[in-house]
Structures are given as C-alpha cells and as structure tokens.
Amino acid sequence: MKITRSKIILIILLHLFCVKIFSQKVNDFWDVGEELTYEVSYSLIKLGTIKFTTLEKIEENKKAYYRTIVNIDSYSSIPFVDLHYTLESKIQNDDFHSVYFKSLDKRKDKSFFIEYTFDEISKDTHVKKGRFPPYKVDADSICDLNHTYQDGLSLFYFARLLVGKDTSIAAKAFIEEKLEDVSINYSSKNHLIEISEFDEKIKTNRLSGKTELVGIFGMTGEFEGYFSADKKAIPIKASLNVILGKINIELIKWKTKEWSPPIK
C-alpha cells in the first residue's frame, strides 16, 4: 500500500491524539467475563441482538492484552434478514490498539472469514480472507500501514476510554482493507436515561461522533451513545445512522463484576 504525503501527515496527527488520550485519566472498565447484550431496533421493529464478551486477559512480552468477542444475530422472525456474525479482537492495553481481528459471516451453506494480524514492530498488517466448507483462502497479503489501528470490534472498547471527560479524539480504523476515520466527542454532562430492563433512570454521559465506515445492518455516518457515568463506562443506549434511516441499540442484559447501573 502506497503511503502518500497526506497519509504521513495523518499518521503524525493520530499519534498526537493517542498521546493526548493517555496523558488523561482514562476509565478502568476491563472485566474478564463481562457480558453485555443489546437489542437492535428500527422504528418499532426489533431486528436482533448484539452480545459483547471479554473472554480473557493475556500476558505476553511484559504487555497485557484482552481478547474480546461479539456475536451479532438477527431475529428469525425478521423477513429477508438473516445475519449471523462473530467478531473477535485482541487488544493491547498499554496504548489501546488491535493486534488481531477476525470476523466470521455465517450463512446457510457457507461461512466467510476475514483475519487481520497487526504486527506491533513492523506495523505491517497480514490480511487473510476465505471461506468454508470446503476451506479456501481467497486472499492472503501484507499491507504496509506503518501505524497501529483499531478494528471493527476494538472501536467499541476504545470509545469507552474517555467517557465523562470534556474532550474530542480521532482514531483510524482498518475495516475491510480500508482506512477509515472515526471522530468521537465526549461530554461530562450527566443525562438520565431509561431502559426497559431497569426500573430507575440511569445516570449517563453522552458521546457523539461520525465515521465513514459501513458496518453491520448498514451502520454509517453520525452516531451518539449514552454510557454509564462511572469507571465502567458501560454503553446503555445508542443510535446510529443506517442506509434507510436510524437504528436504536439498548442494553437488555449485563453480567459484570460489582456493577449496577448508577442512579441519581
């Protein structure tokens, strides 16, 4: 991949943003075994669920990594929609970038996979794409990105870092072999939010942002979310633009140590 002058400037700016992030006090939300389940709806139509799980903490070369996974499933009652995705990410905890990403698109007769391995030393990214059964590799290449990046799953955890601060950050994501910009604006202002699975209003902090990447259910463009106003910074509600309008995401189930939704 050719690195142009504009890309070099962007890389320098992103490095400065990363320095800004870690010079601030960030939220301590990692919890091995944490499970967060959300329901996705479009208008009054419930589309499916998204379940995030923190699987384990790994110590390698005096560095800490967290392995995470998300399962995305549409409801069987939705006509013309049959989505079943699994995304896995291994996130380096010191400066919070992805070192490994895998997506699995499960269909009736085949499954399609994508794997990214981000080399922390060379900054190269190994890309492998294929399908099974039978097992077949459709693409196997090296991208010289010269930087560390977020992936489609690590962004979820990255966004939780500065919840409750009055600041803005920019990040770069590597999605479907494209470099995508993501901007996030944070606020310390408290908002009381209601969800169906909790009897009281939850104290949250809002974030908003914009991305050009296109994700599951056609998510793209502007987004906003309300995260618990505590160190766990757990997403409570969010809304995202999709090709046909806007979808809503709401927390319906949670399993995490020593946490309950903060109230007024």
Residues 163-189 have a mean pLDDT of 88
Q: How confident is the model at residue 213 (pLDDT cuts 50, 70, 90)?
A: low
The answer, yes or no, to whether residue 94 has pLDDT greater than 70, is: yes
Residue 59: left if φ>0, alpha if ψ -120 to 50, beta else—which one? beta
Q: How confident is the model at residue 211 (pLDDT cuts 50, 70, 90)?
A: confident
CA pair distance 209, 220, nearest whole angstrom: 11
The answer, yes or no, to whether residue 25 has pLDDT greater than 60, is: no
Task: Provide the pLDDT for residue 147.
Answer: 75
Q: How confident is the model at residue 17 (pLDDT cuts 50, 70, 90)?
A: very low
CA pair distance 245, 218, nearest whole angstrom: 10
CA pair distance 224, 237, nearest whole angstrom: 9
Residues 35-56 have a mean pLDDT of 93
Residues contacting residue 252 through CB under 8 Å, at least 6 positions apart: 37, 38, 39, 49, 195, 196, 197
The owner of tokens 């955890």 is 157
Could you state, in order of their start, the residue ranges of all structural domains in the chain?
A: 32-255
CA pair distance 161, 154, nearest whole angstrom: 11
Q: How confident is the model at residue 52 (pLDDT cuts 50, 70, 90)?
A: very high
Q: How confident is the model at residue 15 (pLDDT cuts 50, 70, 90)?
A: very low
The answer to whether the bond into 262 is cis (omega within 30° of 0) is no
The owner of tokens 């097992």 is 135
Residues contacting residue 58 through CB under 8 Å, at least 6 positions apart: 64, 65, 66, 67, 90
Residues 219-246 have a mean pLDDT of 84
One-letter amino acid at 255 equals K
CA pair distance 201, 67, nearest whole angstrom: 32
Task: Provide the pLDDT for residue 30.
Answer: 94
The answer, yes or no, to whether residue 10 has pLDDT greater than 50, is: no
Q: In this predicted model, what pLDDT tens digit does every residue of 116-149 receive, in sequence order?
A: 999 988 888 999 999 999 999 999 999 887 777 8
Task: Provide the pLDDT for residue 102.
Answer: 96
* β-strand pairing of 63-74 with 235-242: unpaired
pTM: predicted TM-score of the whole model, two decimal places: 0.86
- Residue among 72, 34, 73, 40 nearest 53 (CA): 34
32-255, which class in CATH? mainly beta
Residues contacting residue 76 through CB under 8 Å, at least 6 positions apart: none
- CB 83, CB 217: distance < 8 Å: yes
The answer, yes or no, to whether residue 85 has pLDDT greater than 60, is: yes
The answer, yes or no, to whether residue 53 has pLDDT greater than 90, is: yes
